[in-house]
Amino acid sequence: MTSATQNYDLKGIRIERIPSRDCVRRFKCGETSIDKWVSDKAFKHHDQDRSRVFCALKGESTAALGFYALSFSPILPTYLFGQHADRYQDGDAPFVYIEWLAVQRSIQSNGIGTVLLINALQRAYSVSRNVAIYGVALRALNDRTRAYYEGHGFVAREDSAFPLMILPIWTLRDLFEPRRG
Whether 6 has a pLDDT exceeding 70, the answer reads no
| C-alpha dihedral, 176 to 154 to 14 to 179, nearest 10° | 10
Average pLDDT of span 32-52: 96
Q: Which residues contact 153 (CB under 8 A, 6 or more apart)?
A: 167, 171
Mean pLDDT of the chain: 92
Q: What is the pTM of this model?
A: 0.91
pLDDT of residue 89: 84
* 181 membership: H or E segment, kind and range: none
Q: Is 141 left (phi over 0), alpha (psi -120 to 50) or beta?
A: alpha
Answer with the residue of higher pLDDT: 11 or 163. Answer: 163
Walk across the sheet containing 155-156 and list its strands. Answer: 13-17, 52-58, 66-75, 93-103, 135-139, 164-168, 155-156
Closest to 137 measured CA to CA, from 100, 176, 167, 181: 167
pLDDT tens digits along 51-100: 999 999 998 999 999 999 999 999 999 999 888 888 888 889 999 999 99
What ranges make up the beta strands (E) of the chain? 13-17, 52-58, 66-75, 93-103, 135-139, 155-156, 164-168
Angle 113-164-21 from CA coordinates, rounded to 5°:
45
Whether 158 has a pLDDT exceeding 90, the answer reads no
Separation of alpha carbons 82 and 176, rounded Å: 24
Whether 35 has a pLDDT exceeding 80, the answer reads yes
pLDDT tens digits along 122-151: 999 999 999 999 999 999 999 999 999 999
pLDDT of residue 102: 98
pLDDT of residue 5: 45
Average pLDDT of span 18-44: 95
Question: How many CB atoms are closer than 10 A to CB 28?
Answer: 15
